[in-house]
């Protein structure tokens, strides 16, 4: 009797082992995603902008990547356009372009749009504009809590430390806050001076 019982237990164990083996997933797991192999890569070619203008370009050459690609640029210039893998209407500056594919593989590259030389002079071309339109009562003078632009080093420091901010505020006519906006020629003089290093010249 015990022999038959033991035989049934043995048979039951063999059946369980058999069905367990048949039901297990023998397929290989998919290989781990290697973005270095399947992900996108990007190289950039920058073209200069005319001094005081926003007509530089950054052309992208993209290889690899899966699915639709998402392309971003930082910092994001005002008025920039993107078509046929070219960012246009670019002002001078250094930019980072990032490309992301549908597998979330990410790559980035940097390029600098330089400004063509115009050799503006601060004393001749910029200072008269600053004194007439910026360093005026209630604005960039002593006692207002703002940088005092009657002092050259104050304006030069702002141009060195936040050139994009100065350009954008002038560009969108946020500055000056009184009177008419600066003319295109006045803006170009300030932009060119900043682009060429905000020199004491």
What percentage of the chain reaches a pLDDT higher than 90? 37
CB 109 within 8 Å of CB 94:
no
Longest dimension (CA), the chain: 116
Protein fold of 35-113: Immunoglobulin-like (2.60.40)
Q: What are phi and psi of 7, to 5 degrees?
A: -65, -40
65 in the Ramachandran plot: left (φ > 0), alpha (ψ -120 to 50) or beta? left
What pLDDT does 10 receive?
46
- Cα 142 from Cα 136, distance rounded (Å): 10
Bridge partner residues of 112 (DSSP): 94
Instruction: Locate CATH 2.60.40.1080 in the chain.
Output: 35-113
| Residues 143-170 pLDDT 10s | 888 889 999 998 898 888 887 788 888 8
The residue-averaged pLDDT of 68-83 equals 91
What tokens appear for 74 in the block?
Answer: 């930082």
- Cα 91 from Cα 198, distance rounded (Å): 16
| Residues 185-200 pLDDT 10s | 888 888 888 888 888 9
| Terminal C-alpha separation, the chain | 112
Alpha helices in 35-183 (DSSP H): 35-38, 127-133, 152-161, 163-171
């Amino acid at each position: 009797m015990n022999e038959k019982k033991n035989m049934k237990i043995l048979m039951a164990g063999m059946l369980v082992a058999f069905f367990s083996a048949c039901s297990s997933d023998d397929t290989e797991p998919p290989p781990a995603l290697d973005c270095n192999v399947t992900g996108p890569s990007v190289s950039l070619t920058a073209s200069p902008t005319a001094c005081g203008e926003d007509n530089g370009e950054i052309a992208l050459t993209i290889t690899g990547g899966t699915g639709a690609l998402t392309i971003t640029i930082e910092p994001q210039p005002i008025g920039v356009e993107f078509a046929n893998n070219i960012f246009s209407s670019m002002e001078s500056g250094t930019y980072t372009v990032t490309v992301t594919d549908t597998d979330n593989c990410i790559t980035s590259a940097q390029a600098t749009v330089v400004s063509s030389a115009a050799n503006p002079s601060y004393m001749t071309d910029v200072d008269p504009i600053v004194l007439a339109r910026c360093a005026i009562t209630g604005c960039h003078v002593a006692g207002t809590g703002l940088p005092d632009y009657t002092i050259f080093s104050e304006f030069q420091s702002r141009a060195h430390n936040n050139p994009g901010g100065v350009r954008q505020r002038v560009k969108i006519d946020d500055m000056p806050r009184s009177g008419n906006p600066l003319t295109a020629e006045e803006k170009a003089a300030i932009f060119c001076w900043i682009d060429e290093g905000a020199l004491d010249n």
